[in-house]
Amino acid sequence: MEKEQIPLGQMIFDELFLLFLLSLVISLILYNIWGLLDLLRTPLLVP
């Protein structure tokens, strides 16, 4: 009997630790980019 090949998407979703790390990386990147853009958009303080 031939083993059925598991799709790549299912292999990724079966790895809970990989999903956890991926969610951490994505959220850290998005929040850092959001924070940097927010800092760059603030006007400079001119005394």
CB 16 within 8 A of CB 10: no
What is d(CA 31, CA 29) in angstroms, rounded to the nearest whole number?
6
Check whether 12 has a pLDDT greater than 70. Answer: yes
Check whether 1 has a pLDDT greater than 80. Answer: no
Domain boundaries, the chain: 11-39
What is d(CA 22, CA 12) in angstroms, rounded to the nearest whole number?
10
- Could you tell me which residues come within 8 angstroms of residue 19 by beta carbon, excluding any fewer than 6 positions away? 12, 13
Give the residue, 1 or 17, on which the prediction is more confident.
17
CB 29 within 8 A of CB 22: no
